[in-house]
Structure 1
Amino acid sequence: MSVVDSPDSSGVAAALTTDERAELERLRTEVADLRSAPPPQPPARRRIRWASVGSAVLLVLGLLLVPVSVFAVWTHNQLSETDRFVATVGPVLEDPAVQSTVADRVTAEIFAQVNVQGLANEAVDALAAQGLPAPIVDRLHGLTGPLADGTRNFVGSKVHELVSSPAFVAAGERALTITHQQIAAALAGQSSALVVQGGETVLDLAPFIDAAKQQLVASGFELAGKIPEIHPTIALFPASTLIRAQTLYSLLDVTATWLPWVTLALLVGGVLLARRRRRATLVVGLAVMGIMLVVAGALLAVRGIVVGSVAEQSAAAVGSTYDIVVRFVRAALRTLFVVGLVVALAAWVTGPSNTAVRLRGALSRGVGALRRGGFARRLAAGPVGPWVHDHRVLLRTVLVVLAALVVVLWDRPSGWTVLTVALVLVVLLGVVELLDQPRSLVTADADGSPGSPGLDGGPS
C-alpha cells in the first residue's frame, strides 16, 4: 500500500495511507455538510383531534343524563297518569306491615277518645251509690282493667279484619284515584279540588263527598242522596308552592318525553365520533352498568335514612311503603343494567382480545361444520343461499334494529326481556350466517375442496 507525504495543518509532514486519506476526506465532507445544514426544526405539536373531544363531551353528557332520564320519566308517569300512580301506590294498602301499622294507629285513636276503664269505673261507682255492697264494688273495680284490655283486644282484632279486607283495599284505591285526579288536574292548571283562596292552596272536599254519596247510595243507604252540595275546604300550603309545582310539572311534561331520546342520541353520537368506536361502545356499556349500581346504592341509602327518621313501631311500614313506591325505579335500573351488559358483551366479543378471537373461532368452526356437505350445496343451488349471501349485511342490520325497537317499544321491559331479545337476536344472526351460501358452491366438492366457501362467504 503506498504512502503519501502531505503537510498537516501545523506544517509538519505526515505520512497517510490512501485509505486513511480517503476516510479523512469523507469525515471532512460530513462535517461541512453538517455545518451547512439548516438548524433542526422543533418537534411539531400534536394536533388536537376535535372529533375525539366532541366524542368525550357527548359521552359524558349522555351518561350523566341516563339516571336523570330514569327519574324524570318515573316522576312524570306518577304525576300525569292516575292508573300508573294507583298501580304504584295501591299495593301499599295490601302490605301486611302497613295494614298492621294502620290498624294499630286506628285502634289507638279510638281508645284515645274512649276511656273504657274510666267508663267502667264510673258505672261501678254509680252502682255503689245505689247501695251495692262494698266487697262487690271492690271486686268490680278490680275487673275494670281486664275489661278494658279485653275490649281493646276485641276492637283491635275487628279493626285488623277491616283494614285487611278487600273492601278496605278497594276503598283505599278509590280514594287514591280521586286524590291523584285532583292533584294532576291542579298541576296541569285545570279545574280541580285544589283551589287558591286568600294566598293559600285549599282542598275542596266536595268531590270526595260526592264520591262518598255515590258509594253509600250504591250500598243501599239511599238517604245519602239527600245530602246537599257543600264545599268545605282544608288549607294545605301557600299558593306559591302550587305555582312552583305547576312549573315543575310543565317542565317534566316536556323533558320526560324527549330526554330519553336526547340521551340515546348523545351516546350514539359520541360513539360515532370516537376514533375507536368499539372501545367507546364497551366504555358506554360498562359505564351504564356502573351508574345503575351507584343509583341503586343511593336508593338503598335513602331508604335507610327514611326508615331511621321515623318511630320504631312505624319503621317496618315505612320501609315496606318505600320499597313498593320505588319498585318500578329499581326495575328500570335492572333493565338498564342488563342493556349495558349486553352492549358491553357485544363490543367485547367483536373485539381483538385473544379470548374474544378464540370464542369467535369456536363459533365459526361450529357454524362451518353445519355449512359443509350436501346441505350447503343444496342451499347454494337454490335461491335462498345466494340471496342471503347477497343481502347478509342488510339482514344483520335489520335484525339488530328490530331487536332494539322491541326493547324500546316494550311497555316496561324487564332485564329478562332484554336478555331474551338479545338471545333471540344471536340465534337469528346465527341462522343468517348458516344460510349464507354463495352460488359458486354448486361446483364445490363434498369434502370442502377449493370453491367451497369459508365463514366469510369466500373460499375456505
Structure 2
Amino acid sequence: MVPLHDDERAELLRLREEVAALRKAPPRRRRTPNWRAAGAAVLITLGCLLAPLSLLTVWVHNQVSNTDRFVATMSPLIEQPSVQAAVTDRVTGTIFGYVDVQAYANQAVDALAAQGLSPVLADRLHSLTGPLASSLQGFVHDQVSTLVASPQVRAVWDQALRGGHEQLNAVMSGNASAIGIAGDKVQLDLGPLITAAKQRLAANGFTAVNAVPDVHPTLAVGDAATLIKARSAYNTLDTVATWLPWVTLVLLAAGVYLARNHRRALLNTGFGIAAGMVVIAVALFVVRGVLISNVPSRSAAPAADSYDLIVRFLRDGLRLAFVVGLLIGIGAFLAGPSVTAVRLRAGASRLIAWLRRGGAKAGLRTGKVGGWVHDHRTVLRVVAVGLAVLVFIFLSPPSGLAALVIALVLLGCLGVIQFLDQPPAERADQPTSAT
C-alpha cells in the first residue's frame, strides 16, 4: 500500500468527519407546499387582473352617472373642425329635406304665369330656379357653419348635454317621475308638457287653454323589459365601480403582505399593473381602428376625433396607473440583490462619495449636520417617501407626468440625504467646524 501524504491524509480525515456528521444528522423532512407563498401569488395575480378592469369600470361609471364628467368629456366635441363640418352638413341637409326651394320657386313662377305673365318670361324664370336653389343652399350652409362655430352654440351644446344626461340618470336610477311602467310598456307622463304648453299659449293671448283641466296623459315610449335591464345594469355598475377598486387594492396589499419576499412581491405587482395598462391601451387602439373602418369615409375624421375625446380621460388614467406601476416595479428591482441593481447602487454611492470628497476639498464641511443626518437617516428617508406619497395623493388631477416628476424629486432628496450622511469614522477625520 502506498503511504498517504500529509495533505491527502488530512483530506481523508475531513471527508470521514463529514460522513459521520451526515449519518448522525436527523433525516430531512419532506418539504411541504408553502401555502402562504401560493396564496400571495394568487392574490397578486387577481389584483393585477382586476386593476385594469377597475379603471375601466370607474371610467364607464363616471361617463354614465357623473354629469359633470360626462359634460367635460363631450363638450369639446363641438369645437372639433371635423365635427363642426359634419354637424353643419347634417343640419343643412335636414333643413332642405323639408324645404324644397326649387319647387317653391317654380310654384311662384306658375302663379305669375296664371296671372298673365308671358310664357317666354315664365320659361326664363323657370330656368333660374335651379341656380337660385343652389345659391340659397350654399348661403344657408355658410350661415349654419358660422352658427355652429360660434360660442353661443357651445353654451347651448353644454346645456343640452347636461339636461339630457341628468334625465338619463334619473331614468336609469328609477327616480324620474316622468317615467313609469304600465303593463309591458314604458309610459312617459305628458302632464308637465301639457302644463308648460298651457302657460305659453295663455301668455300669448290664447286664454281658452285655461279650460283644460290638470290632466296627465301618457305616451308609450318603449318596452318595459329593456328599461328594467338597463336599470339593473346601471345599479350593478354603480356598485362595482364603488367597491372594485378597493377590493383590488386589498388583494394586492394582502398578496404583498403574505409573500415571503416582500420586495419581489412588490416588483411583480408593479410590473403586473403596468402590463395590464398596456393591454388596455392596445385594446383601445384596436377598437379605434375597427370603429373608423366601419363608418363611411366622410365620417372617418369626425368619428376618430369623437373617439379620441371620449376616451381621453381613460387614457390619462392608463398613463397614470402605468407610470405608478412601473415606478413601483423599478424601485423594488433597484432595491434587490441582482447584479445590475447592486452595480447601480454602488455606482450611485461612488458618485455621491466623489461629490462629498470634492466638496471637502473645496472647504465644505457638514460638521454637526452630517452627524445628525447619519443618526436620523432612516427617519429622514421615510419622511421623504411619505411626503412624496402625500403630494401625489392630494395632487389634483394626478397624472403620469406628475408621478414621474415626483419620483425624480424623491430620488434627488434621497441623494441629498446620502450626501449629507457622515458616519462617525469620517467625522473623526474632519475638523470640528460646521461650515
Interval of TM-score (by shorter of Structure 1 and Structure 2): 0.7 to 0.9
Q: Secondary structure at the match of 2:186?
A: strand
Give 1:363 shift: 1.4
5+ residue gaps, structure 1, are 1-16, 20-37, 217-221, 447-460
Q: Secondary structure at the match of 1:190?
A: coil
Which residue pairs with 2:382 in the alignment? 397
Q: Secondary structure at the match of 1:55?
A: helix
Aligned residues: 403
Q: CA RMSD in A?
A: 3.7
Counterparts in 2 of 1:212 and 1:305: CA distance versus 1, 3 Å:
farther
Counterparts in 2 of 1:70 and 1:235: CA distance versus 1, 3 Å:
farther
Q: Kindly indicate whether the alpha-carbon contact (under 8 Å) linking 1:380 and 1:440 is maintained by their aligned counterparts in 2.
A: no
Matched, 1:166 2:148: no
Which residue pairs with 1:379 in the alignment? 366
Q: Kindly indicate whether the alpha-carbon contact (under 8 Å) linking 1:95 and 1:320 is maintained by their aligned counterparts in 2.
A: yes
Q: Distance in 2 between matches of 1:213 and 1:434?
A: 80
TM score, norm. by length of structure 1: 0.76
Counting only pairs closer than 5 Å after superposition, residues 55-74 of structure 1 correspond to structure 2 as: 55-74=40-59
Give 1:269 shift: 2.5
Counterparts in 2 of 1:140 and 1:294: CA distance versus 1, 3 Å:
same
Give 1:202 shift: 4.7
Q: Distance in 2 between matches of 1:420 and 1:82?
A: 32
Bigger mean CA deviation after superposition, 415-424 or 95-104: 95-104
Q: Distance in 2 between matches of 1:328 and 1:271?
A: 29
Counting only pairs closer than 5 Å after superposition, residues 127-166 of structure 1 correspond to structure 2 as: 127-166=112-151
Q: Secondary structure at the match of 2:32?
A: coil
Give 1:146 shift: 0.8
Give 1:441 shift: 4.6
Q: Kindly indicate whether the alpha-carbon contact (under 8 Å) linking 1:124 and 1:140 is maintained by their aligned counterparts in 2.
A: yes
Give the greater-gyration-radius structure (CA): 1
Give 1:377 shift: 8.9
Q: Distance in 2 between matches of 1:211 and 1:374?
A: 87
Q: Aligned to 2:347, which of 362, 366, 370?
A: 362
Matched, 1:328 2:313: yes
Which residue pairs with 2:403 in the alignment? 418
Bigger mean CA deviation after superposition, 429-438 or 191-200: 191-200
Give 1:197 shift: 4.4
Q: Deviations over 1:4-44 (max 9, x none)?
A: xxxxxxxxxxxxx9x9xxxxxxxxxxxxxxxxxx9xx9997
Identity %: 49
5+ residue gaps, structure 2, are 4-22
Give 1:203 shift: 5.2
Q: Distance in 1 between matches of 2:159 and 2:231?
A: 24
Q: Kindly indicate whether the alpha-carbon contact (under 8 Å) linking 2:371 and 2:427 is maintained by their aligned counterparts in 1.
A: no
Matched, 1:343 2:339: no
Which residue pairs with 1:200 in the alignment? 185
Bigger mean CA deviation after superposition, 170-179 or 431-440: 431-440
Q: Aligned to 1:96, which of 81, 89, 103?
A: 81
Q: Secondary structure at the match of 1:196?
A: strand
- After the TM superposition, list the runs of 4 or more consecutive aligned residues in structure 1 that deviate by more than 6 angstroms: 41-44, 205-214, 226-234, 374-377
Structure 1 counterpart of 2:103, one-letter code: G
Matched, 1:266 2:251: yes
Give 1:235 shift: 4.8
Q: Deviations over 1:116-155 (max 9, x none)?
A: 1111122222233333333322222221111111111111
Q: Distance in 2 between matches of 1:319 and 1:71?
A: 20
Q: Distance in 2 between matches of 1:311 and 1:212?
A: 41
TM score, norm. by length of structure 2: 0.80
Which is bigger in relative contact order (C-alpha 8 A, separation at least 6)? Answer: 2
Q: Deviations over 1:278-299 (max 9, x none)?
A: 3333333322222212111211
Which residue pairs with 1:296 in the alignment? 281
